[in-house]
Structure 1
Amino acid sequence: MSTHASYPAPGPNTLLLVWDAPNLDMGLGAILGSRPTSAHRPRFDAVGRWLVQQAAELSASTGLDIVPEATVFTNVTPGSADSIRPWVEALRNVGFAVFAKPKLTEDSDVDPDMLAHIETRANEGVLAGLVVASADGQNFKDALERHTQEGVSTTVLGFHEHASWAVGSEVLNFVDLEEIHGVFREPLPRINLDHLPEGGAWLQPFRSLDNLL
């Protein structure tokens, strides 16, 4: 696990949300066919209210006093600190922690840090519920299913177009991000392969062909 001076201390029984910012941005860009604008970026105050409500419902169903905890995991590319700083500060003002990691190579992803944080909370014995927010969430499948078997309430928060494994799961909860009230200022221009327009629709690639080199 990555070490850093201000690692959060363990709390009481926790409903933990870990948010995969790079992957969600990629998934959102694929739906939009372009880089997301402010109209189509998630409102974290809406996500925070939803998480607080989920913690209250989990408390009622388990009889435990469960508190919400949320962390956004993100990469920071060299030279982009000034542009990303207002977003990071806004997240912290809402009540989200932020784990920021420099994007030095293609392998500098935040997935291992997210998984390490989940396992730390589990080992501390405070993990009562787990929400993984990722466009597809596939990298977290094993951890989610294992914690479900251990009695932890688990939810995948993402986009149904990209997370069919979670949508069809018999053991995991799935919530489409757009189902959260107020999370987007405008509806996403989503394309359903089961209900395509008569003239067809363009589906943009998830990544550049240059990544194959």
Structure 2
Amino acid sequence: MSGTNPHNESLSYSGQPEQSPVYLLVWDAPNIDMGLGSLLGGRPDAVHRPRFDAVGRWLIDVARDAVQDGAVPAPEATVFTNVAPGSAEQIRGWVDALRNVGFAVFAKPKLTEDSDVDPDMLDHIRRRRDEGVLDGLVVASADGQNFRELLEELAEEIPVTVLGFHEHAHWAVEHETLDFLDLEDIPGVFRAPLPRVNLDSLPDDGAWLQPYRPLSALVR
């Protein structure tokens, strides 16, 4: 591969194939939110939502370290998200903020239980691979299990990282060919430490593990 593509605005997300090398990050927003919610015992608030500017700076550094044949791959980042009916106005500011940081956003209506964005993430990864421009890949997902087969295949040729939470991604933490990075290990990604209490890191005097939902939900 040759050439560089340092400006994300020149990346091709539809239409013409990309021709310059990229270091790709795909972010599974529904799954990351679910993982955060399980760690927090409730819906993430502003303090415990990831800062995408910090993620972007980290990806830039990773891409700079991935020089091949004198070419630095362009960092490319896309957040994949569902939009539930009636929620467009609630997330519009978040989507605009992502785009201002330099992230692309793939938004898909959440019409049925099967309207997940996982297939779209896989399609985009395969597109970059088939274009011959994929120099590295980061998949941000709480556990990454839905991407395992493709990631293991790609890891035979390029560096592949699962970015998630070690509580949910034991398979990736212990994997021989994939790298794993806990999201909280990215500098500045959270405004405050996550209140992570789990069976692997219990304090000596014990800890309360909050229910994920109220018991009354059983009869709804």
Q: Provide the TM-score with structure 1 as the length reference.
A: 0.90
2:128 counterpart of 1:121: yes
C-alpha distance 56-202 of structure 1, shift in aligned 2 (>3 A): same
Instruction: Please list, as runs of the form range in 1=range in 2, the aligned pairs for 1:72-87 lying within 5 A after superposition.
Output: 72-87=79-94
How much is the aligned-residue C-alpha RMSD, in angstroms?
Answer: 2.2
Secondary structure of residue in 1 paired with 2:190: coil
Secondary structure of residue in 1 paired with 2:62: helix
Letter in 2 for 1:10: E
TM-superposed deviation, 1:7: 5.5
Gaps of 5+ in 2: 1-12
Poorly superposed stretches of 4+, deviation over 2 Å: 5-9, 61-65, 197-201, 203-206, 208-211
Determine the structure 1 residue equivalent to 2:33: 25
TM-superposed deviation, 1:70: 0.3
| Aligned-partner Cα distance in 1 for 2:16–2:33 | 25
Letter in 2 for 1:127: L
C-alpha distance 62-37 of structure 1, shift in aligned 2 (>3 A): farther
| Contact in 1 for aligned 2:197/2:207 (Cα 8 Å) | no
Deviates more, 1:107-116 or 1:186-195: 186-195
Describe the superposition over 1:138-169 as per-residue Cα deviations: whole angstroms up to 9, x where unpaired: 001111100011x1110000000000000000
2:174 counterpart of 1:168: yes
Determine the structure 2 residue equivalent to 1:51: 59
TM-superposed deviation, 1:204: 3.7
Letter in 1 for 2:126: E
| Aligned-partner Cα distance in 2 for 1:21–1:45 | 15
2:51 counterpart of 1:39: no
Determine the structure 2 residue equivalent to 1:100: 107
Determine the structure 2 residue equivalent to 1:154: 160
Gaps of 5+ in 1: none
Q: Provide the TM-score with structure 2 as the length reference.
A: 0.87
Secondary structure of residue in 2 paired with 1:174: strand
Matched positions, count: 205
Letter in 1 for 2:195: P
| Aligned-partner Cα distance in 1 for 2:135–2:104 | 19
TM-superposed deviation, 1:203: 4.8
Pick the aligned partner of 1:12 from 4, 14, 20: 20
Letter in 2 for 1:68: P
The structure with more radius of gyration: 2
Instruction: Please list, as runs of the form range in 1=range in 2, the aligned pairs for 1:121-200 lying within 5 A after superposition.
Output: 121-149=128-156, 151-197=157-203, 198-200=205-207
| Contact in 1 for aligned 2:42/2:212 (Cα 8 Å) | no
Which structure carries more relative contact order (alpha carbon 8 Å, separation 6+)? 1
